[in-house]
């Protein structure tokens, strides 16, 4: 009686070839849908493959063919809340194309001196880099080293050659401000994100442009800066609300900061939106469950993910591009945190 091996051995292309009575070259051709195989043989081999549940060893394929079917996704270790939206879009687009995702958290304290290249080069075919902390120079070096990638939502201004996908910050901010101004607000405070970020500067530009269009001079005391989290947002909002002549509306850099602002208002007994209107940015899930539900500028997160993937795919195919930068439209979602100003 034959002994049954404890763990079924995974079979390889050689065994499939023997089973089908063909060469391994032919099996490989069937596997990859290449030509030079008769219809008859193709079906025979396909059947054997199916019946035995065979799949090619991906390491071997990667070694031999140079492409691994893997795409890296680099993301800050502490996920920004809106990351899951991007990931969902990217994941869907990638799995449609039969790619797998290698998720690589960056910025952890355990992080060795190994760079992106070291971790992903030779493992993945390319990468999506979300909110990179790397400078434009570092990314250029990466590009020059032959690694293909697309940057999503760059923090810093990027050199022309670096492919990137982002949202229309300026126009989003402009829409948000127009909404507030249309409601009749004249003293609108702003809580910006960290200085130097592309998103911060672009949204600030939208804020100023809308004010200017309404003939309102920007008041520097109405601008605060905060890290894009709830607590810093609350602190910044407190500054604005404690002003001798406080604003009737606040445009926040993102939803987290806006939620902090709601908390600050509540702590002072200031009613939102009756006495204070608040607008956020991003439209993360939190925006819908907070009270009052947040009026905010929606970023098309899933679409950003999908777009980045399709850009990357074309890059991998070696296509050259006229434009490497894609900016996706944003749109205002009006909920319950905005209303006309008091006595007005």
Partner DNA sequence: CAAAAGACCGGAAACGGTTCCGGAACTGTT
Partner DNA sequence: AACAGTTCCGGAACCGTTTCCGGTCTTTTG
Residues 6+ apart with CB under 8 A from 163: 149, 150, 151, 311, 312, 315, 321, 324, 325
Residue 92 interacting with its own copies (CB under 8 A): yes
Q: What is the DSSP string of 302-321?
A: HHHHHHHHHHHHHHHTT---
Residues 6+ apart with CB under 8 A from 285: 81
Tell me how crowded residue 9 is: count the other CB atoms within 10 A of its CB: 8
Tokens of 123: 């493992």
Tokens of 141: 């070096």
Residue 46 interacting with DNA (CB under 7 A): no
Pick 59 or 221: Cβ nearer its own copies: 59
Pick 28 or 307: Cβ nearer DNA: 28
CB of 122 to its own copies, least distance (A): 4
Among 43, 51, 111, 274, which residue interacts with its own copies (rule: CB under 8 A)?
111
Total chain residues near its own copies (CB under 8 A): 54
Rounded (10°) angle between helices 39-52 and 13-20: 120
Tell the burial category of 252 from Cβ atoms under 10 Å away from its Cβ (0-12, 13-18, 19+): buried
CB of 64 to its own copies, least distance (A): 9
Among 25, 63, 212, 243, which residue interacts with its own copies (rule: CB under 8 A)?
63
Among 2, 3, 110, 343, which residue interacts with its own copies (rule: CB under 8 A)?
110
Q: Which stretch binds its own copies (CB under 8 A): 25-33, 80-88, 211-219, 318-326?
A: 80-88
Tokens of 276: 């204070």
Nearest to 81 by CA among 283, 316, 312, 311: 283
Q: Which stretch binds its own copies (CB under 8 A): 31-39, 105-113, 149-157, 321-329?
A: 105-113
CB of 97 to its own copies, least distance (A): 10
Tell me how crowded residue 286 is: count the other CB atoms within 10 A of its CB: 18
**CA torsion sign, 164 to 165 to 169 to 170?**
positive
Site for its own copies in 212-251 (CB under 8 A): 230
Pick 35 or 215: Cβ nearer DNA: 35
Residue 26 interacting with DNA (CB under 7 A): yes
Site residues, its own copies (CB under 8 A): 7-10, 53, 55-63, 68, 70, 73, 77-79, 81, 84, 88, 91-92, 95-96, 100-105, 108, 110-111, 114-115, 117-119, 121-123, 144-146, 230, 259, 285-286, 289-291
């Amino acid at each position: 009686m034959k002994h049954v091996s404890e763990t079924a051995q995974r079979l390889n292309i050689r065994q499939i070839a023997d089973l089908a009575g063909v060469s391994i070259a032919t099996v490989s051709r069937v596997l990859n849908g290449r030509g030079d195989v008769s219809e008859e043989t193709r079906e025979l081999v396909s059947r054997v493959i199916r019946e035995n549940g065979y799949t090619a060893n991906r390491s071997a394929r990667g070694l031999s063919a140079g492409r691994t079917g893997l795409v890296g996704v680099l993301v800050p270790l502490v996920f920004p809340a809106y990351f899951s939206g991007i990931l969902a879009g990217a994941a869907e687009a990638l799995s449609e194309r039969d790619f797998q995702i290698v998720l690589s958290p960056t910025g952890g304290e355990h992080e060795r001196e190994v760079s992106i290249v070291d971790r992903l080069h030779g493992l993945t075919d390319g990468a999506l880099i979300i909110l990179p902390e790397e400078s434009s120079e570092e990314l250029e070096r990466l590009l020059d080293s032959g690694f293909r990638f697309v940057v999503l939502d760059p923090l810093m201004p990027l050199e022309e050659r670096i492919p990137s996908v982002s949202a229309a910050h300026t126009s989003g901010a402009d829409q948000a401000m127009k909404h507030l101004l249309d409601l009749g607000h004249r003293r609108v405070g702003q809580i910006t994100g960290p200085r130097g970020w592309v998103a911060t500067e672009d949204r600030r530009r939208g804020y100023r442009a809308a004010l200017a269009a309404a003939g309102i001079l920007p008041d520097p005391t109405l601008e605060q800066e905060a890290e894009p989290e709830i607590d810093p947002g609350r602190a910044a909002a407190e500054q604005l609300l404690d002003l001798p002549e406080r604003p009737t509306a606040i445009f926040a850099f993102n939803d987290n900061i806006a939620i902090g602002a709601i908390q600050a208002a509540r702590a002072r007994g200031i009613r939102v939106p009756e006495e204070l209107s608040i607008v956020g940015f991003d439209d993360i899930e939190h925006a819908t469950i907070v009270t009052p539900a947040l009026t905010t500028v929606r970023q098309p997160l899933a679409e950003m993910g999908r777009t980045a993937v399709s850009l990357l795919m074309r890059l991998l195919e070696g296509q050259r591009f006229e434009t490497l930068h894609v900016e996706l439209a944003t749109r205002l979602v009006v909920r319950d945190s905005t209303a006309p100003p008091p006595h007005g």
